[in-house]
Amino acid sequence: MEVGYSTVVHKAEALTVKIKTTRFGELEVDKKDIIEFTEGLLGFENLKKFFIVDPGDQTLILWLQSTDDAATAFPIIEPKIFQPNYMVKLLPVELNSLALENLSNASVYTVLTIPQNVTEMSANLKAPIIINNKTKMARQIVLQDSKLEVRFKMYMDLKKYIVNYSTNASDDSKRTNVAQAARDNGTTVVSTNTANTTTKTNSPEAN
């Protein structure tokens, strides 16, 4: 008697996804690098999933791109770049909400507002974005420190940092070092050189 065996072929699940964006065109993103904001961002609570894009320019500014809305992308930056003494102090309940014991396994970014006159750009130090590097869960948290500004003018500080850095490294190596630092911190960014110069001025802010 012959026994028939049915062969079941399991198609490997794709590890990447192609996402269309208004600013950067179509990008291929690793699924593991998609960041989930369970509460959304301030003023954009309906958008839950994002990924970080490095446009590859000289500004050190990254972009938090929505996976669900091609037109929504927020300029972000590590606050230590322009404000070395910036400290984030989270309450135990806030750490627990991100499954963190401390911030050693987290990445911290501030959202920028970039008006037409770029010298007036500002950073929201009051409500930083905190990302658990392991789980990719994230929140925008309004800090308790009343001294922190929602619109901290930081153009000159950023310019000084870039100029000082450029004296010791070429632009290419500078971008490489920034990307490497992000990887060391557990944050993966999607690199692209197709960014245009249009900036989105409405950004998630604390009241």
CATH code: domain of residue 101: 2.30.290.10
Q: Which amino acid is at 148?
A: L
**207 belongs to a structural domain:** no
In a domain, residue 179? The reply is yes
Examine residue 158 and state whether it is found in any structural domain, yes or no. Answer: yes
Residue 108 domain boundaries: 16-188
d(CA 187, CA 99) in angstroms, rounded, equals 16
What's the predicted TM-score (pTM) here?
Answer: 0.79
Could you tell me if residue 5 is inside a domain? no
Above 60 in pLDDT, residue 195?
no
Q: What CA–CA distance (Å, rounded) separates 207 from 194?
A: 34
Burial class of residue 41, CB neighbours in 10 A (0-12, 13-18, 19+): buried
The answer to whether residue 109 scores a pLDDT higher than 60 is yes
Place of tokens 């950023």: 158
Give the pLDDT score at 9. Answer: 45
Share of the chain above pLDDT 70, in %: 74
Task: Determine the pLDDT at residue 89.
Answer: 95
Quick one: pLDDT at residue 24? 95
68-92 CB burial, b ≥16 within 10 A, e <16: eebebbbbbbbbebbbeebebebee
